[in-house]
């Protein structure tokens, strides 16, 4: 396939990811399988997707900061904890053999997708009004976010849902407040993992920038023009596609 068509498909995938993630999340499960199908190694796929995740965190943080919703300094504390974990996770990821990493990616994508789709029925208290945190739980938060950082540095997929669920359960935050903290965590923890993968030669910058541009464009479009979209149907379609791609990854590995 000509390179221009590959870049176009990568951009469109990024656009779809931005679109779905803006509606509710789960779109990032499409990124790794697509890059692997285009000939990237599993580690190259993870590394090349990092600029897009970093851009998503940066613009998300800017948006919440402009609305004066960033819960400083709590967001900085947990983001720094996650950053330390991401360094360890990225190094661990690069030590896993490519064949095994394919299977790990396939299992993670399938598990996260099933969780996202099943999560529609979960009765999580989404309307808790608290946008603060209890200082007595700070140590617990730092420990949990270090573990989340390890996972983020290792593979990233589904980390947004894990962060939001953690903040809801431990700190009783509402979704908006949790999302504002999530943006800072993804931004700061994404920097060292990107550097580590780049130093290992696992980041294809041209494709990564195209993917990041698509993700940003999809998020921008959806936030302004999508009205009355049926989130469950969109996520179901993306979820089915993600599971099929995960199965194909597992078989091909």
* pLDDT on residue 23: 57
Given a cut of 50, whether residue 46 has pLDDT beyond it is: yes
Cα–Cα distance between 176 and 117 in angstroms, integer? Answer: 20
Mean pLDDT of the chain: 78
Token pair of 145, please? 């976010």
Q: What percent of the chain has pLDDT over 90?
A: 26
The closest of 120, 203, 128, 230 to 172, measured between CA atoms, is 128
* pLDDT on residue 19: 74
Which 8-state DSSP code applies to residue 151? H
Cα–Cα distance between 182 and 175 in angstroms, integer? Answer: 10
Residue ranges covered by each domain of the chain: 3-252
Given a cut of 90, whether residue 91 has pLDDT beyond it is: yes
Token pair of 119, please? 């999560």
Q: What is the DSSP string of 74-130?
A: HHHHHHHHHHHHHHHHHHHHHHS-HHHHHHHHHHHHHHHHHHHHHGGG----TT---
How many CA within 13 A on the CB side of residue 66?
6
The closest of 154, 182, 142, 43 to 88, measured between CA atoms, is 154
Lowest mean pLDDT among 10-24, 103-117, 168-182, 234-248: 234-248
**Cα torsion 79, 83, 85, 90: sign:** positive
Query: What is this structure's pTM?
Result: 0.76
Cis peptide before 119 (omega within 30 of 0): no
Place 242 in a pLDDT band, splitting at 50, 70 and 90.
low
Mean pLDDT across 27-37:
80
Cα–Cα distance between 46 and 35 in angstroms, integer? Answer: 9
Place 194 in a pLDDT band, splitting at 50, 70 and 90.
very high
* pLDDT on residue 234: 55
Place 26 in a pLDDT band, splitting at 50, 70 and 90.
low
Place 216 in a pLDDT band, splitting at 50, 70 and 90.
confident
Mean pLDDT across 130-146:
74
Q: Residue 87 in contact with residue 196, Cβ under 8 Å?
A: yes
Given a cut of 50, whether residue 124 has pLDDT beyond it is: no
The residue among 210 and 183 whose pLDDT is bigger is 210
Given a cut of 90, whether residue 83 has pLDDT beyond it is: yes
* pLDDT on residue 116: 64
Lowest mean pLDDT among 25-29, 63-67, 235-239: 235-239
Token pair of 191, please? 């920097």
């Amino acid at each position: 396939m000509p390179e221009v068509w590959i870049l176009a498909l990568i951009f469109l995938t990024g656009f779809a990811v931005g679109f779905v993630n803006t509606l509710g999340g789960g779109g990032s499960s499409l990124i790794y399988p697509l890059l692997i199908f285009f000939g990237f190694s599993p580690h190259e796929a993870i590394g090349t997707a990092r600029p897009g995740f970093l851009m998503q965190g940066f613009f998300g943080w800017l948006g919440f900061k402009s609305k004066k919703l960033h819960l400083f300094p709590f967001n900085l504390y947990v983001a720094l904890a996650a950053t330390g974990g991401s360094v360890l996770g990225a190094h661990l990821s690069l030590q896993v053999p490519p064949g095994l990493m394919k299977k790990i990616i396939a299992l993670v994508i399938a598990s996260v997708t099933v969780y996202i789709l099943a999560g529609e029925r979960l009765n999580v208290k989404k309307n808790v009004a608290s946008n603060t945190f209890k200082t007595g739980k700070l140590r617990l938060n730092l420990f949990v976010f270090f573990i989340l950082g390890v996972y983020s540095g290792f593979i990233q997929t589904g980390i947004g849902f894990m962060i939001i669920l953690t903040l809801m359960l431990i700190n009783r935050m509402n979704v908006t407040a949790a999302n504002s903290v999530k943006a800072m965590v993804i931004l700061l923890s994404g920097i060292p993992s990107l550097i580590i993968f780049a130093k290992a030669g696992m980041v294809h910058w041209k494709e990564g920038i195209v993917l990041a541009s698509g993700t940003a464009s999809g998020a921008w479009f959806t936030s302004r023009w999508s009205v009355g979209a049926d989130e469950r149907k969109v996520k179901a379609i993306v979820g089915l596609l993600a599971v099929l791609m995960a199965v194909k990854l597992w078989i091909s590995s």
